Structure 1
Amino acid sequence: MEWLVSLLGAGLVMVTLRDLFHTLWHPTRHGGLSRLVMTALWRLARRFRTRGRVVGLVGPLAMVTVVGVWAGTVVLGWAIVYWPHMPAAFTFSPGSEAAQEPALLDSVYLSLVTVATLGLGDITPGEGWLRLVSPLEALVGFALLTATVSWVLEIYPALTRRRVLAVRLALLRDADPATRQLDSTAGALLLDGLAVEVARVRIDFTQYAEAYYFHDGEDHSSLAATVGYAAALAEHGQAAGRPDVRLAGRLLAGALADLAAILDQRFLHTGGTPTDVFAAYAADHGRAS
């Protein structure tokens, strides 16, 4: 029975590590827990759409929540591993009153100390297999800290790329280039550059799906509010007289179609055309496309 309880704790740790791997390192990044938490918080925040600060906190708050759940589950899982063998399989420092505490409390305490790599030494494993398992928890704790830092460092550049594209589209919309200006070599280069940026954002939504739940704030930095203008530019490009501009327009239209497919598949589930998807994207982020 003791080993069954320990195996249950080990299974809980493995489930957490699997979710961490799929959230941060898997190529398609289909993290289960992170997506559930972020989706739930996003839907909750939509009920307070008039309060911009609430929506703006969803992304950061969801990341903190996910990391907290990961850490708490790892601590609990390892505590369950220790619990059936506490205190007989452990040694206590002289004068310590830890052995007089409930076994579960000592197990949680030891797990917290170990995962935080503090190594206080007042409770140490005595049996051989526990002396091997305990350092593994410290390694998991270090990996969790490293993964959290990496997650933050990865997701914010993705947000920057998305907002740069949104600002560029907003500036183009305000400049309102004439048809003859687009039907030129400069117009072809412009449309081609936009297609590249849209493709980057599409990849970001694939690899950093959590970025969807970050609100972009003002309209000029919100891709949800400006992506419709990119579709209009693609239409103008495809109707141009110059073949290079038509090609660039088709490239931009294709990149936008790929982006719409990712948004619809992963977040919106409209089953509609790219125009329908972008309208739903704008509505979901509280913007008028």
Structure 2
Amino acid sequence: MGWPVAVVGAVLVLFVLRDVFHTLWHPTRHGGLSRLTMTAMWRLAKALPRRGAAGLAGPVAMAVVVAVWSLTAVVGWALIYWPFMPEAFAYAPGLRPDDHAGFEDALYVSLVHISTLGLGDIAPTEGWLRIVAPMESLVGFALLTATVAWTLGVFPALARRRSLALRISHLVRTHPTTDQVDADAGAAILDGLAADVTVVSVDFLQYAESYYFHDGDRRFSLAGQIAGAVSLADQASAAWHPDVRRSAAVVRAALDDLAAILDSRFLRTRGSAREVFEAYARDHGHLGGA
């Protein structure tokens, strides 16, 4: 058993650290474990007949990802400890080393260290293990901190996305005519809309998990409202005022970038921006525009 098992444990630990790094600190499509978990939970929630299940997909998936990270790290470190028990460990009086050298005992030691409890009834005595065990405590603390930071990052991103959806809803519900849009005020509104779309695009890059949060109220759902922004930009592009036309072009560019991000990361339609937004609406249960 020995070192090969310990190497497997080290690989599991490194796999978790890599996934946390790519999910939280260097967001790319390489955070395989978290991305697969979020996608699977989203598809499962949509397949369930229970109404409102999709609304739980995002929060539950985040909890599952954190649980998988923690469990995999615990098992990985347990595999590092297990081959060297009981010889490389000191036991508290009353504990017989030979009776506490199984894998469940290694799991116990791993849980004690990753939770930073430091009970000390079973402690490493081998030199390198005395370095590895505190490193597990540091990783446990880092996982806790990363989970809090992740939560504090995702939910403000959701608030920005919902605010944009509600703003588009307000604009669409007023049914502005081309003449009303064709003014300095119209250009200012379009510039603000382009800025908000850009912020949401960055949020989808930085917090891809936010895609899997479903907004049941159509007014607050970007998937249900984004077509209204496209129509507004199309309407403004026919305006006479050059500033309005320029602002409309900026909105279209921002929408094209948003569509490219949604398509490359989540939808894979390879279609136009309008087709991507239609797929986005379908994926979130909103089959129309505004």
Which band: TM-score by shorter chain? over 0.9
Matches within 5 A, 1:254-269: 254-269=253-268
Q: Where does residue 140 of structure 1 map in the other structure?
A: 139
- The residue type equivalent to 1:248 in the other structure is S
Corresponding residue SS for 1:57: helix
Q: Aligned runs of 1:223-262 on 2, under 5 Å? A: 223-262=222-261
Structure 1 residue 98 displacement after superposition:
6.3
2: CA distance, partners of 1:150 / 1:2: 37
Counterpart of 1:155 in structure 2 is: 154
Please give the residue correspondences for 1:90-239 in structure 2 after superposition, counting only pairs within 5 Å.
90-97=89-96, 99-239=98-238
Contact 1:82/1:107 (8 A) holds in 2 = yes
Report if aligned partners of 1:79, 1:108 keep a CA contact under 8 Å in 2. yes
Q: Report deviation, 1:96.
A: 2.6
Q: Please provide the CA RMSD for this pair.
A: 1.2
Q: In the aligned structure 2, how far is the partner of 1:177 from the partner of 1:98? A: 79
- Provide the rounded CA distance (Å) in 2 between the counterparts of 1:99 and 1:53: 52
Aligned to 1:286: 285
TM-score where L is the length of structure 2:
0.97
In the alignment, the residues of structure 1 paired with residue 58 and residue 51 of structure 2 have an alpha-carbon distance, to the nearest angstrom, of 13
State the partner residue of 2:16: 16
Aligned equivalents of 2:43, 2:88: Cα separation in 1: 47
Q: Secondary structure at the match of 1:286?
A: coil
Q: CA distance change for structure 1 residues 230 and 265 in 2, over 3 Å: closer, same or farther?
A: same
Distance in 1 (alpha carbons) for counterparts of 2:103 and 2:224: 53
Residue of structure 2 equivalent to 1:53: 52
How many pairs were matched up?
A: 288
The normalised TM-score by structure 1 is 0.97
Q: Any idea what SS the aligned residue of 2:151 has?
A: helix
Matched, 1:6 2:6: yes
Flag structure 2 segments of 5+ consecutive residues without an equivalent.
none
Cα separation, 1, equivalents of 2:47 and 2:110: 39
Partner of 1:33: 33
1:102 Cα offset (Å): 4.5
The offset of 1:224, in angstroms, is 0.6
Tell me, in whole angstroms, the C-alpha distance in 2 between the residues paired with 1:113 and 1:97.
19
Alignment partner of 2:52: what SS? helix
Which one is further off, 13-22 or 2-11? 2-11
Deviation at 1:28, TM superposition (A): 3.3
Q: Distance in 2 between matches of 1:162 and 1:149?
A: 20
The list of structure 1 runs, each at least 4 consecutive aligned residues, that deviate by more than 4 angstroms after superposition, is none
Residue identity in the other structure for 1:38? M
Matched residue of 1:282: which SS?
helix
Does the aligned pair in 2 maintain the 1:234–1:249 contact within 8 Å?
yes
The Cα of 1:47 is off from its aligned counterpart by: 1.4
Question: Does the CA contact (< 8 Å) of 2:27 and 2:207 recur in 1?
Answer: no
Unaligned residue ranges in structure 1 (runs of 5+)? none
The share of aligned pairs that are identical, in percent, is 56
One-letter amino acid of the counterpart of residue 277, structure 2: F
